[in-house]
């Protein structure tokens, strides 16, 4: 059973690695950023509420995300495993998840922290060219990461779940390390 949280700054490569590993393991890759982008593209009520925050590089308010995660982790395909990519993003979300997993009788098997130097993050994000990847928004997203998300590294270290992975390597080297971690 693999139930992993992927942590890391924007551009750390967690989305790409989550997609590869989830496909190999046949478990859902749950990306809150992707859910939000799809909702925005479809013009759903969630998308309409989230758009301004996503465009500016701010976190959307917790109340828009928490119900969504609760529903997603309760679905049938999530019982046999999952990779969470982009959630939790702050301490209140992490506390919510800890309680939710207890309620659902699920256990998180590990938290992978993708470590990548700032100059590499910036270069990767500028090359990616997503709508929220212009230089001003990127700088803001990196600040939001440092202030709100980076404290989760300590949080999960205290829960004895944290595993650091050097994300500044070839894609395939990182995938290989993740496969090894999952098998161990």
Structure tokens at 47: 């998308």
Selecting among 123, 128, 131, 146, the annotated active-site residue is 128
Selecting among 123, 130, 131, 169, the annotated active-site residue is 130
Cβ atoms < 10 Å from Cβ of 156: 20
Q: What is the C-alpha separation between 97 and 164, in angstroms, rounded?
A: 20
* 3-state percent breakdown (helix, strand, coil) of the chain, nearest 5: 60, 15, 25
Q: What is the C-alpha separation between 109 and 74, in angstroms, rounded?
A: 17
Q: Which of 36, 125, 152, 178 binds ligand AMP (CB under 6 A)?
A: 36
Residue 138 interacts with ligand AMP (CB under 6 A)? Answer: no
Residue in 96, 109, 102 with CA at minimum distance from that of residue 182: 109
Closest CB to ligand AMP among residues 46, 178: 46
Q: What is the C-alpha separation between 65 and 70, in angstroms, rounded?
A: 9
Residues 55-74: x/- map of binding to ligand AMP (CB under 6 A)? --xxxx----x---------
Residue 116 interacts with ligand AMP (CB under 6 A)? Answer: no
Residue 89 interacts with ligand AMP (CB under 6 A)? Answer: yes
Active site residues: 14, 89, 128, 130, 141
Binding site for ligand AMP (CB under 6 A): 10, 32-33, 36, 53-54, 57-60, 65, 86-87, 89, 93, 141
């Amino acid at each position: 059973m693999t139930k992993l949280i992927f942590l890391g700054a924007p551009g750390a490569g967690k989305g790409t690695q989550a997609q590869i590993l989830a496909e190999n393991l046949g478990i859902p890759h749950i990306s809150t950023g992707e859910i939000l982008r799809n909702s925005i593209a479809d013009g759903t009520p969630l998308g309409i509420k989230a758009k301004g925050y996503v465009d500016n590089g701010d976190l959307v308010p917790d109340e828009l995300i928490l119900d969504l995660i609760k529903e997603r982790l309760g679905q049938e395909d999530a019982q046999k495993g999952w990779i969470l990519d982009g959630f939790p993003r702050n301490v209140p979300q992490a506390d919510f998840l800890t309680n939710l997993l207890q309620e659902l009788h699920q256990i998180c098997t590990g938290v992978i922290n993708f470590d990548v130097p700032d100059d590499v993050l910036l270069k990767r994000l500028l090359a990616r060219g997503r709508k929220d990847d212009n230089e001003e928004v990127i700088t803001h997203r990196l600040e939001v990461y440092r202030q709100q998300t980076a404290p989760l590294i300590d949080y999960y270290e205290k829960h004895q779940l944290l595993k650091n992975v050097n994300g500044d390597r070839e894609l395939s080297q990182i995938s290989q390390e993740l496969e090894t971690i999952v098998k161990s």
